Structure 1
Amino acid sequence: MDVALPFSGIGFFLLSFASVAILLFCKHFLSSYIKYKYILFSLIVVYIAFFLPFQATIGILLFSLYIYLIYYVFSYSGYRKTLLPIVLVSLPMILFKLDVDGMYKIIGISYITFRVIQAISDQKNYGSLDFFEFTSYLFFPPTLLAGPIDRSYRFKSDLDNGYANISTSNFVSGWELLVIGGLYKFVLAEFVAKFWLAEIDASSTSIVTMINSAYSYTLFFYFDFAGYSAMAMGVGIMLGISVPRNFDKPYLAKNPQDFWRRFHITLGSWLTDYFFKPIYMYLQRFSYFRGRRLLVQNISITLTFLLMGMWNGLVWHYIFSGLLFGLYSSIHNCYVHYVRKGGTDIFSVTPNILSLCMKRLLMVNSVVLALYVFSGRVPL
């Protein structure tokens, strides 16, 4: 059968619409006999088994067995600490980032690993998922390759709602997001890539060319990624799963914190809950850091963004771009602290609208620089 990677071509969309039709049929004729979560699970298994590349299917199968063993052993053994299972779950992803050959070449491994870590970390608060729920959560096709990163307890709530989310209104809402996402990814991103980005000599050290490359890549990256996320939301809603929003006008952000509340929202939220907060609490155990809240915040922020860079890949441009984002947030933290202590806010000397424009201009250009580094197009 033809390969249909998520949102890679017409095949995936046809499969998605066929899945919606099957769920709608089951809602009207089989809902008394078989639960929604079993139908969704079956559709996901069929997709992985028959419509992904053979090597990807084998990789997911082996990875699943490994993940299931860790998740359920630690779930039912009464073992309360989460660090060991998290380290074990992360090993395949680390090997993948180190470019180790073998079973670790698994599509979507970074996002799948973060989902597993979240499910393990929140078991004590929200309980464990059963086999069908856990599998569907990890390998839900619209979010398999590039997120958004859902939370297991939120995903489970949609499964528990059953067929109620399969409705005409949700299909229309999903269709609107799908069309917008398709416009972003397949029209605008492709237009920028073909007629702007591709025309630039990435090896040129001319300042004008590098600036041109930076802005074109930033625009391409936004349309491509935001488009993918919108389509994932749209197909998810059609299938009865409310995939969380990932973008909210990020280039209107006025500071780094505001930016990460708008850009790749689910990753920023995940890193805050499962990395920044634990690191922050851990550092406060040391007597040296007590009373040095700003320092602890900045160290935790920097380490968090460093992790984000390494999560994208263990190459210098991903890591350095993460450090840049960490530096932006730390500088903003220090500036806010300075103003609160009575320092002069340089943005307050201008009218509000001009001040807002200045903040947005500074932020968007900072992001352009970091994403230019992220792109690997810097001629070094």
Structure 2
Amino acid sequence: MVFSSTLFLFYFLPGFFLLYFLVPTRLKNLVALVGSLGFYAWGGLNFLALFLASVVVNFVLIRFMDRAEGWQKRIYLIMSIVINVAMLFYFKYANFFLENASAVRQAVGGTPLTWEQVVLPIGISFFTFEKLTYTIDVYRGVNRPLKSFWDFMLYIMLFPKMIAGPIVRFHEIAGQLTDRRAFDTVDHKIAGLFRFAVGLAKKVLIANVLGQQADAIFAMVGGQAPDHIFGTTPAQVSPALAWLGALAYTFQIYFDFSGYSDMAIGLGRMMGFQFPENFNNPYVSRSITEFWQRWHITLGRWMRDYLYIPLGGNRVKTARLYANLWTVFILSGFWHGAAWNFIAWGAFHGLFLILDRLFLLRIYQRIGALSIIPTFLITVVGWVLFRAPTLTFALDYLKRMFAFSTVAGESLPYFTNEFWAALALAAVFSFMAALPRVERLELTLLADTHLRLRRAAVLSFTTAVLLLLSVSNIIGSSFNPFIYFRF
């Protein structure tokens, strides 16, 4: 069940909030938990029992860990980490390693391996990260473990952030799991509904429109799309069309994923939870280093605190520091998907993080705001690696982007006005934060939860308009994927 589906918007969401707002405070966690289990069961019923069993095992191990001391405490920590990582490894990476082992075996003259493909449960990466967060935070003494198993299950399974984030660390909402009265106000609910409407509009009115054409262009390069889509053949995919496909995907993934995060944050706020921000205008970044401070912020912080710093952080020698950076971002790429193109995407970003430290940051400082341009182009190239079904496909696509010789049919094929309008809106909303004060105004608007009457009225009217436009689009369109659900 995706947030932009009619099932969620017309049935699940109204029914859930009607019950959630009507019950007394002591029952709100129960309603939230039952609703979250129902939400996940709709799309992942086959794996619900497995997920619940892993939650039970983690809760018991962490209770034992909290009571233990010395080496016994570390043993329980290791057991919890191994169980969670093993579960992620099996479901997400077993096929990848078996496929590569089979390919190696064939290359040396052996017979290919045969196995039953492992099905990937939705949201397992985010689910695993949050269990690891809870375990490590309790071990480090950042927070005491929850006394109630049901509160712990609610932290792990809370439906707004369960499938695609943001990654909420335990200490960030530990107090809210037991007492949300400070955030249970009309202003928070209005602000939350507005944030949800903004996210839904980003997803439906921009990401979906761009994504449909991006998919068609990438399929054309792969020779999979029927010729009549653009009235041209795969051999005639010009550099201009290849760049257009890459740009469409670049904006699609941002508005799709940030839209989901906005919706999750908005839903959480309506329930009294304060989730961390996950995006902050990443395409106005002036370096790849800054990009990763603005893109998928909760993942970047997780990687920093639970991987980069334990590896030594900035305290090690320069060569080791660069190796750590590269290691963390290769793992980040592998976390996104079990394929070589994701590993290449992580290594690509790791390389530019190293180049930033070596000399690029000094160059960018000299050219000022113009450094947004090379940073954005680097990002676009990276997204081709991310979007491509294979690494070979990605390299072929990049060759077409940078093949500046004239080819037959070089002029762009016909695109609808809706596509061009969505592309223009995407560019405007992506880069307008580069203007003075715009980013500050935007953050104030989205974060403000103390609303005067006039602002509350404006937000309510804007929310109604965005919801009306989005719902109309959803009803009239069958193209409605969520990119990050597969991670």
Structure-2-length-normalised TM-score:
0.66
Residues 1:246 and 2:239 aligned together: no
Residues 1:131 and 2:149 aligned together: yes
- Structure 1 distance, partners of 2:59, 2:365, is 55
- Structure 1 distance, partners of 2:134, 2:188, is 27
Partner of 1:257: 289
Query: How big is the shift at 1:62?
Result: 3.8
- The alignment covers a number of residue pairs equal to 350
After superposition, give the CA deviation of every residue in 1:328-363 in whole Å (9 maximum; x if it has no partner).
Answer: 111101127xx8xxxxx44565xxxxx233211111
After superposition, give the CA deviation of every residue in 1:57-114 in whole Å (9 maximum; x if it has no partner).
Answer: 3343344344444444434444332444312211110111224569974321100111
What amino acid maps onto 1:89 in structure 2? N
Query: Out of 18, 24, 31, which is 2:21 matched to?
Result: 24
Partner of 1:113: 128
Partner of 2:198: 180
- Structure 2 distance, partners of 1:19, 1:166, is 16
1:303-342 counterparts in 2 under 5 A? 303-335=327-359
Q: Is the CA contact (8 Å cut-off) linking 1:59 and 1:106 kept in structure 2? A: no
Partner of 1:91: 86
Query: How big is the shift at 1:195?
Result: 3.9
Partner of 1:342: none
- Structure 2 distance, partners of 1:103, 1:127, is 36
Q: CA 1:358–1:92 in structure 2 vs 1: closer, same or farther (change >3 Å)?
A: same
SS of the residue corresponding to residue 148 of structure 1 reads coil
Query: Out of 19, 30, 35, which is 1:43 matched to?
Result: 35
After superposition, give the CA deviation of every residue in 1:121-173 in whole Å (9 maximum; x if it has no partner).
Answer: 11022111231221111111111111000111222222233344232111111
Query: Out of 208, 212, 231, which is 1:190 matched to?
Result: 208
Query: How big is the shift at 1:220?
Result: 1.0
Q: CA 1:298–1:84 in structure 2 vs 1: closer, same or farther (change >3 Å)?
A: farther
- Structure 1 distance, partners of 2:332, 2:48, is 27
Partner of 2:264: 232
Q: CA 1:122–1:366 in structure 2 vs 1: closer, same or farther (change >3 Å)?
A: same
Q: Is the CA contact (8 Å cut-off) linking 2:4 and 2:200 kept in structure 1? A: no
Query: How big is the shift at 1:326?
Result: 0.6
What amino acid maps onto 1:94 in structure 2? F
Relative contact order, higher structure (CA 8 A, sep 6+): 2
Q: CA 1:366–1:69 in structure 2 vs 1: closer, same or farther (change >3 Å)?
A: same
5+ residue gaps in structure 2?
A: 96-115, 223-233, 397-487
5+ residue gaps in structure 1?
A: 340-344, 350-354
Q: Is the CA contact (8 Å cut-off) linking 1:165 and 1:241 kept in structure 2? A: yes
Partner of 2:453: none
Partner of 2:477: none
Residues 1:80 and 2:73 aligned together: yes
Q: CA 1:323–1:375 in structure 2 vs 1: closer, same or farther (change >3 Å)?
A: same
Structure-1-length-normalised TM-score:
0.83
Query: Out of 223, 227, 230, which is 2:255 matched to?
Result: 223
Query: How big is the shift at 1:45?
Result: 3.6
Q: Is the CA contact (8 Å cut-off) linking 1:111 and 1:144 kept in structure 2? A: yes
- Structure 1 distance, partners of 2:142, 2:157, is 23
- Structure 2 distance, partners of 1:315, 1:103, is 15
What amino acid maps onto 1:360 in structure 2? I
Q: CA 1:194–1:228 in structure 2 vs 1: closer, same or farther (change >3 Å)?
A: same
What amino acid maps onto 2:16 in structure 1? S
Q: Is the CA contact (8 Å cut-off) linking 2:213 and 2:245 kept in structure 1? A: no
- Structure 1 distance, partners of 2:167, 2:364, is 35
Q: Percent identity?
A: 23
Query: How big is the shift at 1:327?
Result: 0.6
1:259-298 counterparts in 2 under 5 A? 259-280=291-312, 292=317, 294-298=318-322
- Structure 2 distance, partners of 1:76, 1:105, is 35
- Structure 2 distance, partners of 1:240, 1:41, is 14
Q: Is the CA contact (8 Å cut-off) linking 2:207 and 2:256 kept in structure 1? A: yes
Question: Once superposed, what is the RMSD of the aligned Cα atoms?
Answer: 2.6
Query: Which segment drifts farther, 206-215 or 313-322?
Result: 206-215
Q: Is the CA contact (8 Å cut-off) linking 1:255 and 1:360 kept in structure 2? A: yes
What amino acid maps onto 2:196 in structure 1? L
After superposition, give the CA deviation of every residue in 1:2-49 in whole Å (9 maximum; x if it has no partner).
Answer: xxx2415122234233332223222xxx34xx2543443343344445
Residues 1:57 and 2:48 aligned together: yes
- Structure 2 distance, partners of 1:127, 1:246, is 26
Q: CA 1:208–1:53 in structure 2 vs 1: closer, same or farther (change >3 Å)?
A: same
